[in-house]
Amino acid sequence: MDNLNENLQHINATIQTAAQKSGRSIEDITLITVTKTIDIPTIQNAVSLGTIHLGENKVQEFLSKYDSIPSDVHWHLIGHLQTNKVKYIIPKVKLIHSVDTEKLALEINRKSKECNSPTDILIQVNIAEEDTKYGISPEKVVPLLSAIGSLPYIHVKGLMTIAPYMENPEDNRIYFKQMYDLFIDISNKNMNNIHMEFLSMGMTNDYAIAIEEGSNMVRIGTGIFGSRIY
Ligand SMILES: *Cc1c(COP(=O)(O)O)cnc(C)c1O
């Protein structure tokens, strides 16, 4: 618990510094506490220390925790989402970060309509075009947005990326810049039903650099809870 508090304070201080470097303040940045592999009592401690946004990357694990955590937290689904699992998480999640196909968007729209509860989503972009990562290539983002912009029960709120793992996080600065440029380009297009509010990028290793380059939503696990034990 002490460690948790210290880690959170350290991260908030780093976020503040990085936000200032890019002309913003800590209030402009959303910290998502990534709770994958973390047990319920530890998550409850993090919540009691003021954590509001929690992120899980697997549907099963998210569902196993959902009922035990105070209902006023906001859950983020940050990992790859299979179409056949959408039905389990709507309307429980606040934001789905990992939409990368029209098929998935259609199913989120369908289930959200059934629940009469629109769902906020981000488009996951594979900015470094890595074979091992989900997400769509940057040039396919606008066509996807055109295809799904008219769906009434999804609200596109921005973009997400998982940058490559780099020994030196400075090496990701170029990818964060490219994401920010894409984010701004799309904003400027004023596309139907598309609102570029959130740019979700930056993890334990590189969140300061991501924020310096324009991220306003970071997803941090290890930096808060320590190394994960699988
Ligand atoms: C695990 C995970 C994170 C957090 O990673 P850390 O390096 O532990 O901060 C962020 N985003 C996604 C999609 C993840 O799966």
Tell me, yes or no, whether 134 lies in a domain: yes
Tell me, yes or no, whether 205 lies in a domain: yes
Tell me, yes or no, whether 229 lies in a domain: no
Q: What is the pLDDT along the chain (230 residues), one digit of tens a residue?
A: 569 999 999 999 999 999 999 999 999 999 999 999 999 999 999 999 999 999 999 999 999 999 999 999 999 999 999 999 999 999 999 999 999 999 999 999 999 999 999 999 999 999 999 999 999 999 999 999 999 999 999 999 999 999 999 999 999 999 999 999 999 999 999 998 999 999 999 999 999 999 999 999 999 999 999 988 87
CA of 203 to the centre of ligand 1 (A): 6
Tell me how far CA of residue 200 lies from CA of 13, 97, 115, in angstroms. Answer: 19, 8, 26
Please report, to the nearest 10 degrees, the dihedral formed by the alpha carbons of residues 126, 128, 132, 136 taken in order. 20
Give residue ranges with CB within 6 A of ligand 1: 34, 36, 57, 78-79, 162, 203-205, 219-223
- Of 11, 219, 220, 224, best ligand 1 pocket probe by most atoms within 8 Å of the beta carbon: 219
CATH number, position 70? 3.20.20.10
Tell me, yes or no, whether 211 lies in a domain: yes
Q: Give the atom of ligand 1 at the shortest distance from the alpha carbon of 219.
A: 10
Tell me, yes or no, whether 230 lies in a domain: no
Tell me, yes or no, whether 103 lies in a domain: yes
CA of 57 to the centre of ligand 1 (A): 8
* Nearest to 194, CA basis, from 136, 143, 138, 134: 143
State the residue range of the domain holding 135. 2-224
pTM over 0.95: yes
Q: How many residues does the chain have?
A: 230
What is the tally of structural domains in the chain?
A: 1
CA of 190 to the centre of ligand 1 (A): 31
